[in-house]
């Protein structure tokens, strides 16, 4: 399985089967992704290989140890080694093809963003909106 950042500069591959995914809903992961959760998995170091772009990777680390690696060109989060282990953290959104992996665990669910809670009344589109105007209409509160 291969993966890459948004601009394609950072590329990697994973050998073997992909473990199931987790989603972390903590405030740090929400801020790092700009989304309601961080979807990722961990793979053993021996199964992970860089193809290109390691020189494009920048890192940010909080004093607590929380680390975020990202592509300097496009800002996409990219894989990084989990502290002093042999595990590589892999953001699920970078993978070109999702095999049979599924979200198996939700972490820090109690600190989920209120706006991320499922709503049966929200508009669901199979693709993008037909126009900016149709998106604006869908976002209007009733």
Report whether 29 contacts 39 (CB < 8 A): no
Q: Which of the four pLDDT bands, split at 50, 70 and 90, describes residue 65?
A: confident
CA distance 111 to 18: 27
Report whether 48 contacts 8 (CB < 8 A): no
Residue 141 scores a pLDDT above 60: no
Residue 108 tokens, joined = 């820090």
Considering the chain, what is the average pLDDT of its residues?
Answer: 87
Residue 99 scores a pLDDT above 80: no
Residue 25 tokens, joined = 């809903």
pLDDT per residue over 12-64, tens digit each?
999 998 888 998 988 898 898 888 889 999 999 999 999 999 999 999 999 98
Residue 142 scores a pLDDT above 70: no
Report whether 1 contacts 99 (CB < 8 A): yes
Report whether 99 contacts 20 (CB < 8 A): no
The residue assigned the tokens 């291969």 is 2
CA distance 36 to 27: 9
For the chain, what is the total number of helices (H) and then of strands (E)?
2, 10
């Amino acid at each position: 399985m291969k993966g890459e950042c948004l601009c394609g500069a950072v590329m990697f591959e994973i050998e073997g089967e992909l473990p199931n995914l987790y989603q972390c809903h903590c405030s740090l992961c929400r801020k790092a992704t700009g989304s309601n959760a961080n979807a990722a998995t961990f793979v053993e170091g021996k199964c992970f290989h860089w193809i290109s772009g390691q020189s494009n990777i920048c890192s940010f680390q909080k004093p607590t140890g929380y680390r975020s690696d990202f592509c300097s060109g496009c800002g996409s989060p990219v894989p990084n080694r989990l502290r002093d282990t042999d595990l590589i953290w892999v953001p699920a959104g970078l993978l070109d093809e999702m095999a049979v992996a599924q979200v198996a665990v939700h972490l820090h669910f109690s600190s989920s963003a209120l706006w991320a809670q499922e709503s049966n009344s929200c508009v669901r589109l199979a693709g993008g909106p037909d126009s900016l105007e149709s998106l604006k209409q869908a976002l209007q509160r009733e």
